[in-house]
Every structure is written in structure tokens, then in C-alpha cells.
Amino acid sequence: MRTMRNTSIDLDSLRYFSATASAGNFGRAAIHLGVQTSTVSRRISQLEDQLGLTLFERGHFGIRLTSGGRSVMVHVRRALADLDAVRSSAQSNANGHVGQIRLGIRMPPIGKPLQALLEHWRDRFPGADVILYEMNERDIQAGIEERRIDAALMAKHTLWPHAVTEPIYREPVLLALPKTHPLRSRKIIKWGHLRDQTFLVQGWDESQSAREFYVSFLGGGVNYQAHAASKQSVLALVGAGFGMTLVTKSQAEVRFPGVVYRPVTEKNAFLEVDIVWAPENKEAVVGRFVAFMRDEARSRRFT
């Protein structure tokens, strides 16, 4: 009767045991493991001493597991499988193939190009989830700095000083106006045609970024009305005849009753969207997501 020795069991011994049981003899196990047959035999004997249990019967028939060996083997293979899972999980996380990206957005990801980028990310890295947080620009800045979100997609004009960013894409800007408005029939619309109109803009907590964006196109003499509301609510007001607003091409894919969309025929009628993140964030999946969005945007010539 063997007595179990109070020593730690190394993982290599368990692998030798599993390989030997699968191979049916020490020689084939040695070939599989890339070691000498004597090494396998010695390690199995050491393991038996450590466990205080004979794992293999040895005879002219070769070797075969004892009943005790069969019982132990169930747990050994489970432990080795768990270890492989630990290593695989660690490698996947280290490579940024799995995990979660908490992504702040200012505008819903409707249509191209953002929807196409997110779809390609999901296809390439199905184990890396993207969780969206719709926030205004001030909350996004605080979320990045306080690590409540990992990255954000924001219009360039809403970025704060010294933010770490990469340009991702540009979208044409369109005019959203009531379907009864006289401008709906114009084939060419310039900024000069709009300076006597009422423009509905979004604004939260005294933020003027949306208004400043409009001013960059239209100047300061326009009648701006700020609403602490979503773009959808602003478009509902447009449909009711309260004024007009600017939208991106992707936003114009969503139809609202009473609203028509018309292109603005100016070279600067576009919105640039950047990705912003904290460089101190060491999560591999976040770094991979930022690099993916940047590289995909460049390859597709979105920027």
C-alpha cells in the first residue's frame, strides 16, 4: 500500500499521465510528448509516489489503468481542460479578441459608414461586445476621464482641448425642412439661402457646441432655437413646421412625418466624426477597437 507524499504535483506530471493513458504505452506517449521513454516512465512513477496510488498495471501486456487510475484520470483531464480554458481566455483577452467596449456616442449609429464599421467589427471579433451609451458631449468627456466609458465617437467640433482622437469618417450634411417649405423645390441650396430661416438646434446644460457648428456654416445672424432634446424630437418639431435643422446623411435615412431632406451644395457641408479615448486605458480590447476603427476607416477612405 502506497502512502501519499505531501508534495505539490506539477502540471507536466499530469500531462504525462494523460498522454500515457491515451497512448496505451510509455513509448508512444514519449513520441507524442517529444521526450525519452525513460523520462515518461520516471515521471509516472514519481506521480504515483506523490499520490500514494498505483496508476498503471504493468506486465507482459504492457500497461493499463488501475481502477484508481481511471478514477483519478477523470479529474486530471478536467483539470487540464480547465487550464487550457484559462490559457485560451487569457490569450484572447490579451490579444483583444474578447471583452467589452463601452462606447459613448452623440448620434445613433444609423446607416453608413458607422453601421458598416460596427458590423465588420462584430464579424471579425464576435467575442468582443460593444455596449452603447448615448450621451451629450460633456457627459462623454467625464465618462472618458472617469473610465465609465472606454471610447466615444464624437463630432469633431464637440471635442474638448487635448482630447486624444483619430478621425474616422466624414458625412455629408443635409437640410431637414418641413415638406411645405418653399425651399423643398430648389435643386441647389447654398448657405446664403438659409440665413433668414429659423434653425432648431440641440443644447444641454448651456452647451453651445451644436449652435457653434451651425454658426460655422451660417454665421451668427440666424435665428437659432436651442432644445434640450434628442435629434428625433427636433425633427418632430421640423415636421410640425417650427423651423429647419441640419442632419447627417445617415440620420436622413430615418423618415419623419412632414419632413423632407435636401442636400446642401457647399464644399464644407460635411460633419467629421472622430474616435476619442483615454491613452491610459490598458484594456487590450479597447486598443484593438480603436486601431480597427482607424484602420478600417482609412482602408475604406471614409476620412
Question: pLDDT tens digit string along 3-33?
Answer: 656 567 888 888 898 998 888 888 898 899 8
Are 246 and 282 members of one domain?
Answer: yes
The answer to whether 197 and 243 are in contact (CB under 8 A) is yes
Residue 128 exposure: Cα atoms within 13 Å on the Cβ side: 27
Of 94, 119, 144, the residue at which a domain comes to its end is 94
By C-alpha distance, which of 147, 148, 151 is closest to 130?
A: 151
Does the residue 2 lie in any domain? no
pLDDT per position as a tens digit, 125-143: 998 899 999 888 889 999 9
Whether 150 shows a pLDDT value over 90: the answer reads: yes
For the CA atoms of 61, 67, 71, 74, what is the dihedral angle to 10 degrees?
30
Predicted pLDDT at 3? 60
**Does residue 120 surpass a pLDDT of 60?**
yes
Q: Are 301 and 173 in contact (CB under 8 A)?
A: no
Which of 68, 94, 120 marks a domain boundary?
94
pTM: 0.66
Q: C-alpha 245: how far from its chain's center?
A: 31
Q: What is the pLDDT of residue 4?
A: 59
End residue of a domain, out of 94, 127, 153: 94
CA distance 53 to 4: 7
Verify that 61 and 170 share a domain, yes or no.
no
CA 44 from centroid of its chain's CA atoms: 46
- 32, part of any domain: yes
Q: Is residue 269 part of a domain?
A: yes
Q: What is the pLDDT of residue 263?
A: 94
Nearest C-alpha neighbor of 296 from the set 118, 99, 152: 118
How confident is the model over 41-98, as pLDDT tens digits? Answer: 899 999 888 888 898 888 887 888 999 989 998 998 888 888 877 777 667 666 667 7
Q: 174 lies in a domain?
A: yes
Residues 6+ apart with CB under 8 A from 120: 296
Average pLDDT over residues 250-264: 92
Q: Do 207 and 61 belong to one domain?
A: no
Q: Is residue 5 part of a domain?
A: no
Stretch 230-259: mean pLDDT, rounded?
A: 92
Q: Are residues 82 and 127 in the same domain?
A: no
CATH code for the domain in which residue 137 is found: 3.40.190.290
Residues 278, 219: one domain? yes
Same-domain check for residues 55 and 118: no
What domain count does the chain have? 2
Tell me what the mean pLDDT of segment 279-293 comes to: 88
The answer to whether position 113 is within a domain reads yes
Q: Tell me, yes or no, whether 207 and 289 share the same domain.
A: yes
pLDDT confidence of residue 96: 63
Mean pLDDT of the chain: 87
Q: Backbone dihedral region of 213: left (phi > 0), alpha (psi from -120 to 50 degrees) or beta?
A: alpha
| Lowest-confidence pick of 21-25, 104-108, 233-237, 282-286 | 104-108
**Residue among 263, 48, 293 nearest 154 (CA):** 293
Parent domain of 89: 11-94
- Asked, for residue 55, whether it belongs to a domain, the answer is yes
Q: In terms of domains, do 201 and 293 share one? A: yes
Q: Is residue 252 in a domain?
A: yes
pLDDT, tens only, 211-240: 788 888 988 888 989 888 888 899 999 999
* pLDDT tens per residue across span 165-196: 999 988 899 999 999 999 999 889 999 999 89
- Side-chain half-sphere of 1: how many Cα atoms within 13 Å? 1
Q: What is the CATH number of the domain that holds 69?
A: 1.10.10.10
DSSP labels, the chain: -------PPPHHHHHHHHHHHHHSSHHHHHHHHTS-HHHHHHHHHHHHHHHTS--EEEETTEEEE-HHHHHHHHHHHHHHHHHHHHHHHHHHHHTTSSEEEEEEESS---STTHHHHHHHHHHH-TTEEEEEEE--HHHHHHHHHTTSSSEEEEEGGGPPTT--EEEEEEEEEEEEEETT-GGGG-S---GGGGTTSEEEEE--TT--HHHHHHHHHH-TTSEEEEESS-HHHHHHHHHTTS-BEEEETTGGGS--TTEEEEE---TT-EEEEEEEE-TT---HHHHHHHHHHHHHHHHTT--
Q: State percent of the chain over pLDDT 90.
A: 39
- Shared domain for 206 and 254, answered yes or no, is yes
Whether residues 38 and 115 share a domain: the answer is no
* Residue 120 sits in the same domain as residue 90: no
Based on the domain organization, do 77 and 170 belong to the same domain?
no
